[in-house]
Chain A
Amino acid sequence: MSIENIPFLGKLDSGVPAGPLEKKWDSYKANMKLVNPANKRKYSVIVVGTGLAGGAAAASLAELGYNVKSFCTHDSARRAHSIAAQGGINAAKSYPNDGDSAWRLFYDTIKGGDYRAREANVYRLAQNSTSIIDQCVAQGVPFAREYSGELANRSFGGAQVSRTFYARGQTGQQLLLGAYSALMKEVDKGKVTLYPYREMLDVVMVDGKARGIITRNLSTGEIERHAADAVVLATGGYGRVYFLSTNAMNSNVTAIWRAHKRGALFGNPCYVQIHPTCIPVSGNHQAKLTLMSESLRNDGRVWVPKKKEDCKKDPSLIPEEDRDYYLERKYPSFGNLAPRDISSRAAKECCDEGRGVGESGLAVYLDFRDAIKRDGEPAIRERYGNLFDMYHEITNENPYKTPMRIYPAVHYTMGGLWVDYSLQTTLPGLFAAGEANFSDHGANRLGASALMQGLSDGYFVLPFTVTNYLGTHATELLKKVDTQHPAFESAEKEVRAGIQKILEVGKKGSRTPTEIFRDLGKVVWEKIGMARSEKGLNEAIAEIKKLQNDFDTNLKLTGDDKLNKNLETAGRVADFLELAHLMAQDALDRKESCGGHFRLESQTPDGEAQRNDDEYAYVAAWEYKGRGKDSIVHKEPLVYENVKLSVRSYK
């Protein structure tokens, strides 16, 4: 790469304030640099992404007085993938009076993440959780309520309290529309400028600081330059590297990957969440999978037949004694609400033993028979009606009458850009929030906590930490950089060259972007999925390199450089190919099992994940060294001062 590409020289500094855990965030706020109200309007901040994290950040920064430029790939900010979240959002309100507290939410999250998250970040998240609910209610988010008029709660996996707030099966939609409406309010006031239909293709570094981005206008094909004083990336997760996942069609790694190539370290790329309850794959034509919310496990019971020969039978004919409610059997204290990584692996084990159901044998039952008998069909309809309808539409089967068939699918990525306590990446002035950063979930995320994290980052962290950054570097940042600066010039040139290359190769080759993408997805799913081994990972790297070569020499593309969805896909696949290589490298390097990362070589006698805290209690932060080249790992040791590392048991 020709231009400014910041090599990582320093030591990873998490920047966590000193002092007791409960006081760290207060202490940060008490000591942060401020920007006086009159000066705020002199700064502009770019926020890429309008999901929960980006939408909340853009609105909140604008309310403070900064000039915000908000970018998203959709026609409207309201369509970010957060909209698809179904189940709910956690908060330590303790309304049910069942013993919840910030400490307990913190502890559950640290434990749920298999002791691979940073204590201070997680505690702050738990502290902020209660303000999020108050904030959303003030915005008019129509959460579910009891007849008393109070807010309703339900339970999610990995917790023994009811701390999950929800809006039917559309919690993400309602929270996002809350953030979106706050954003629209600021657009109306002239404090936010919207840039829809824009894909960020590079960050621009000037004198060692992030000062802008290069975008492509997806509706016209124009390449544009945008300057600012700080840049926030809130561009979501990279689960679509698996091709089949519950992520939206346009979810991508491109924004954070381009930042990674400029020098931002990438944290824990191999930590991926495979969600246990998705509608199983059928056929070869699918482009995405559909999640069935974890909330269903409040009432649904997961089982497979005890005997292989029963697997193809009508489930209603299989008597009670021949059913294996394996989660209830193996994890009696959490039962069907065991955390996701554990439930997914348990489903895979059953299917590997030949006890999977459905045509492919890659499915288990999620059965509501007993809940319907207990509470009646209307009650179940009230709780999960839209999910049942969705299942019915897709599979043509009625889940009120016959158990759902489910199987794990890729859902969420815990890895992402490495950030310090202030959510700043290793590139000064470049922040990452929401699913795009690596920060709060360690090696496994608990249900209903991504929405919480996105909103915590956006509403209650970035407004302070971005201010602190601007205040700290005021002298330098008040000298404005414009888009004529040579750094913009050369970044734009590189972006154009990349697109031209794809279009050129695309005229000659024979494989469409989607075909290569689908192949990549298969490799990543089979070898960097639910079970990983040294042999498999090495094979994965070799196969990824072959696909990379295919992409570089044998791509087939038609259409022009204006509105062209396949050109968009091609650009994203180029980045996914590089990311997949890094995921394999990270997974190889981490010779332990933890959370969603399960190394076959590292398991307990009863097949549970075997951590190795002596050697691997660190964050792996990777430095990019060029396409096809191995990356270099830097380590942030994880220090636990408040919880004792122990075997994570849900038995």
Chain B
Amino acid sequence: MSASNSKTMNVRLKIWRQEGPSAPGAFEEYSLSGILVDMSFLEMLDTLNEKLIHEGKRPVEFESDCREGICGTCSLMVQGQAHGPVRGATTCQLYMRSFQDGELITIEPWRAKAFPILRDLITDRRAFDRIQMAGGYTGAKTGPHADANAILIPKDIADRAMDAAACIGCGACVAACPNASASLFTSAKVTQFALLPQGHADRKRRVIRMVDQMDKEGFGSCSNLQECEAACPKKISIQNIAIMKQEYLKAAISADFRAGLGSADGGA
């Protein structure tokens, strides 16, 4: 058992408060004492909210669900960093032991045009769903398919596809990017299906439509600043962006795909 188990600390918090999407927002300061060092960051915020309710104040709205780094719901800028100072972790995987006793901690929502703020620290990330709708699938319908082992996939390819598929759709890449680009997110999906044979039939249409949708949503473009990779809790590699750019180029210059893109029922 770690020695820190019952050690406590004090924190000061500077938190973004905003009533609604079109209301103006501002920082408010709070302080908490007796916070366990082994508490998670979100448990610290739970503690703050219980205190606020008892004081008759409106609690700080933030989102979380799995609290184990897999659902992508939690999404806070902590000390100016998406998901906080620990690399390869989501906000819910942050522990108070990563902060100093008495430290002033600034907490903000994701800031990006395509992710409007709903209240306090909660943003609307549905733009990601719309990118996914534009082709983030293989098109296989429910029903009988060839035996699963009829498609042999070399282990290294399967592993690389899995690396890309590990994206949790949290949006930290967008929040960290000075251009608010969604390239890391989009490229992870594009790469997964570019690697796997199951994704080859509608490969060109997929990349064109997904990239177009990303632009339509108001995400910025990628200028290779690499902030996204550093912020990504799942360590999604920016190599995926290079692959997406290649895929896009190949698709854009090939003549045969335009027909498919334009067909009435959505094509391919």
A83-B67 contact given A76-B169, A131-B144, CB 8 Å threshold? no
Q: Does A36 contact B (CB under 8 A)?
A: no
Task: Find residues 187-220 in chain B having any chain A CB closer than 8 Å to their own CB.
Answer: 192-193, 196, 198-199
Can you report 7 residue pairs joining A to B where beta carbons are below 8 Å apart? A79-B65, A83-B168, A139-B137, A139-B198, A145-B154, A396-B97, A563-B61
Q: Does A632 contact B (CB under 8 A)?
A: no
Q: Does A559 contact B (CB under 8 A)?
A: yes
CB proximity of B74 to chain A, nearest CB, Å: 10
A562-B43 contact given A134-B148, A512-B50, CB 8 Å threshold? no
Task: Give 1 or 0 for each of B109-149: 1 = CB within 8 Å of chain A CB.
Answer: 00000000011001011101100111111111111111111
Separation of A196 and B166 alpha carbons in the complex (Å) = 22
Task: Find residues 175-191 in chain B having any chain A CB closer than 8 Å to their own CB.
Answer: none
B145 contacts which of A79, A84, A135, A460 (Cβ < 8 Å)? A135
CB proximity of B200 to chain A, nearest CB, Å: 10
Task: Find residues 234-282 in chain A having any chain B CB closer than 8 Å to their own CB.
Answer: 248-250, 282
CB proximity of A380 to chain B, nearest CB, Å: 17
- Cβ contacts under 8 Å, B158 to chain A: 142-145, 149
- Cβ contacts under 8 Å, B149 to chain A: 93, 95, 150-151
Kindly state the interface size class of chain A when it binds its partner: 35 or more
Task: Give 1 or 0 for each of A132-153: 1 = CB within 8 Å of chain B CB.
Answer: 0111111110111111111100
Selecting from A25-33, A285-293, A410-418, A543-551, the interface stretch reads A285-293
Separation of A187 and B152 alpha carbons in the complex (Å) = 30
Query: Besides the contacts A137-B198, A167-B165, A182-B140, what 7 more A-B pairs have beta carbons closer than 8 Å?
Result: A84-B66, A134-B146, A149-B155, A185-B133, A219-B119, A285-B43, A394-B40
Separation of A76 and B123 alpha carbons in the complex (Å) = 12
Q: Does B49 contact A (CB under 8 A)?
A: yes
A287-B46 contact given A149-B153, A149-B154, CB 8 Å threshold? yes
Whether B137 pairs with A142 at a CB distance below 8 angstroms is no
Selecting from B52-60, B223-231, B248-256, the interface stretch reads B52-60
CB proximity of B104 to chain A, nearest CB, Å: 22
Q: Does A173 contact B (CB under 8 A)?
A: yes
- Cβ contacts under 8 Å, A290 to chain B: 67-68
Specify which of B68, B147, B168 lies most central, judged by the most chain A CB atoms within 10 Å of its CB: B68
Whether B124 pairs with A282 at a CB distance below 8 angstroms is no
A285-B119 contact given A60-B142, A248-B66, CB 8 Å threshold? no
- Cβ contacts under 8 Å, A63 to chain B: 141-142
Whether A285 pairs with B125 at a CB distance below 8 angstroms is no
A140-B192 contact given A135-B140, A286-B43, CB 8 Å threshold? yes
- Cβ contacts under 8 Å, A393 to chain B: 89, 93, 95
A75-B61 contact given A63-B141, A396-B97, CB 8 Å threshold? no
- Cβ contacts under 8 Å, A180 to chain B: 132
Whether A249 pairs with B199 at a CB distance below 8 angstroms is no
CB proximity of A191 to chain B, nearest CB, Å: 11
A188-B133 contact given A219-B118, A558-B52, A558-B58, CB 8 Å threshold? yes
Separation of A56 and B143 alpha carbons in the complex (Å) = 12
Specify which of A77, A187, A283, A558 lies most central, judged by the most chain B CB atoms within 10 Å of its CB: A558
Whether A563 pairs with B122 at a CB distance below 8 angstroms is yes
Specify which of A95, A184, A459, A562 lies most central, judged by the most chain B CB atoms within 10 Å of its CB: A184
B47 contacts which of A76, A147, A285 (Cβ < 8 Å)? A285
Q: Which residue of A lies closest to B88 (CB)?
A: A389
* Main secondary structure on B side of the interface with A: loop
Q: Does A397 contact B (CB under 8 A)?
A: yes
Q: Does A612 contact B (CB under 8 A)?
A: no
Whether B193 pairs with A140 at a CB distance below 8 angstroms is yes
Whether B36 pairs with A285 at a CB distance below 8 angstroms is yes
Selecting from B1-9, B77-85, B238-246, the interface stretch reads B1-9
A358 contacts which of B1, B93, B124, B155 (Cβ < 8 Å)? B1
Separation of A248 and B148 alpha carbons in the complex (Å) = 31
A562-B71 contact given A137-B151, A184-B132, CB 8 Å threshold? no
Q: Does B222 contact A (CB under 8 A)?
A: no
Q: Does A181 contact B (CB under 8 A)?
A: yes
Q: Does B20 contact A (CB under 8 A)?
A: yes
CB proximity of A134 to chain B, nearest CB, Å: 4
A78-B54 contact given A138-B145, A286-B43, A359-B1, CB 8 Å threshold? no
Q: Does A564 contact B (CB under 8 A)?
A: yes
Q: Which residue of B lies closest to A152 (CB)?
A: B155
Whether A184 pairs with B137 at a CB distance below 8 angstroms is yes
Q: Does B10 contact A (CB under 8 A)?
A: no
A76-B140 contact given A140-B198, A282-B38, A285-B36, CB 8 Å threshold? no
Whether B73 pairs with A566 at a CB distance below 8 angstroms is no
